[in-house]
């Protein structure tokens, strides 16, 4: 699933908002999260995007039942 989002590396925040919307992320933050999926049991799948100088530098998929920790 992560390979679907690898094309986002190198994209600016402005372009990312055009592609994925802002997802209620605070623009100045260096880490943005998007909820991709939630199953019946409450397991959530998040897309975590990390920025360096307003450009996407890392993309991760995290699956969790509880609170997400974006400090990777």
pLDDT attached to residue 48: 94
pLDDT attached to residue 29: 94
- Cβ-based burial of 16 (10 A; exposed 0-12, middle 13-18, buried ≥19): buried
CA atoms of 42 and 28, how far apart (whole Å): 29
pLDDT attached to residue 71: 66
Q: How far is CA 28 from CA 22, 41, 53, 55, 72, in A?
A: 12, 33, 10, 12, 18
Domain edges within the chain: 2-64
User: Alpha helix (H) ranges present in the chain?
Assistant: 13-20
pLDDT attached to residue 68: 76
Q: Which segments in the chain show pLDDT lower than 50?
A: none
Contact 23/37 with Cβ under 8 angstroms?
A: no
């Amino acid at each position: 699933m992560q390979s679907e989002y690898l094309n986002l590396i190198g994209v600016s925040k402005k372009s990312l908002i055009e592609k994925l919307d802002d997802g209620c992320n605070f623009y100045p933050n260096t880490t943005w999260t998007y909820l991709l999926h939630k199953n019946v049991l409450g397991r959530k799948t998040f897309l975590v995007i990390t920025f360096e100088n307003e450009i996407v530098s890392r993309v991760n998929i995290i699956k969790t039942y509880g609170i997400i920790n974006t400090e990777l």
